[in-house]
Chains A and B, each alone.
Chain A
């Protein structure tokens, strides 16, 4: 879904996702096809027949998808005693990997968008 959203793919075939993913790593056509089929089964993609192939489209934007998952994410929010507004709470050292991962994700997206 990250590829679909970041590349703004609409009405795309398996091959178009494959071209993007192949630039990042070695991946088989059948793997991409199976993944898209599963995303369709989960209701994240719609599809329609175009001759012998399917053309897929995202059902939700990334923002809509995140909003639909907001409940389970924010359900785990931890309270705090504060009377101030911080940009972000400091996290424990245990989550350094999470922060590294997020930084890498943002860096990659900035490179993609040339920012």
Chain B
């Protein structure tokens, strides 16, 4: 009984106490960053992303790594988990396994929602040839060469899918409604998503919110603001790299217009965000924007360094927090069942 309590109570403690506490701290940081009156809500994108995802991912990584580290006991983690003679390392190993299973269970909604658009047949060939022409004419779009997929999925407009090698999907009907200027500018916007691996970033953010029981309650509104600011940032970057602001604005409005096949209702508040993005693009048409709001690709290197630190620190600096959790869980058991 005593042997089994730490893996169960420990994992429950991490998910129900540690993660919400980190989410609360992240919320405090986000509120402070967003309060900055000089457009603070549009800036600090990388730092805000780090707070949104790091508040769940980093403590989980640390506890998972600490569990495996304690499980080693001069043997590999594999041996600890499956060699029944390795009794010393059985409990922390099982704790790490339980924690992993809880994380998979909590993030199942995110995993279920992953799917790409369907490639086109027939009609898409002409659209693809036109897009290749547009890409050839605009060197700033070279990151998209070989990465654009035409889809005949009804009502699909334009979006970027794929975590490691993102691809841009474009609807046949949507592409037909755009002029070449609009198409090039819209692809310029997607180039920023591709360069910054945004689908992967968005996935990690959804995962971070899903695994934290209070994540959505405490951080979802901040995440929604981050998404909106990120889209506005991609518009800005596209214009800085040569996209035309007004054709881009036009393409965005076209993409936002629902078709007859769609029954989507996001509410009028998102229309406010759309108007805001269009307003900024009108401003960019009057006066070229300057770079701001953090460069996208640097977020990954920063996140990776922090993740590595969280994974390696139990091996370097000890696992005192896990030890306290371990003894605490077993003491709790003696109080409950003396």
Contacts and interface: CB of A to CB of B under 8 A. Distances in A.
Interface of A: 5-6, 8, 61-63, 66-71, 73-96, 98-99, 102-103, 105-106, 109-110, 113, 115
B214 interface: no
Given A66-B283, A67-B42, A86-B157, 13 more contacts: A61-B287, A66-B279, A73-B276, A74-B229, A77-B221, A77-B227, A81-B206, A82-B206, A88-B253, A90-B256, A98-B271, A99-B257, A109-B285
B159 A84 contact: yes
Contacts of A94: 265, 268
B272 A62 contact: no
Interface of B: 34, 37-42, 109-110, 113-114, 155, 157-161, 181, 186, 189-190, 193, 198-199, 202-203, 206, 216, 220-221, 223-225, 227-229, 231, 234, 244, 246-247, 249-253, 255-258, 262, 264-280, 282-287, 289
Q: Which of B39, B220, B277, B289 has the most C-beta atoms of chain A within 10 angstroms of its own C-beta?
A: B39
Given A62-B279, A88-B252, A98-B275, A74 B199 contact: no
Interface residues of A, dominant DSSP: helix
Nearest to A98: B271
A63 B228 contact: no
A89 B156 CA distance: 11
Contacts of B109: 81
B227 A86 contact: no
B270 A82 contact: no
Nearest to B159: A86
B280 A78 contact: no
24 contacts: A6-B286, A61-B283, A61-B287, A63-B283, A71-B41, A74-B229, A77-B270, A78-B269, A80-B266, A82-B206, A83-B114, A86-B255, A87-B158, A88-B255, A89-B266, A91-B264, A91-B270, A98-B274, A98-B275, A102-B253, A106-B246, A106-B278, A110-B246, A115-B247
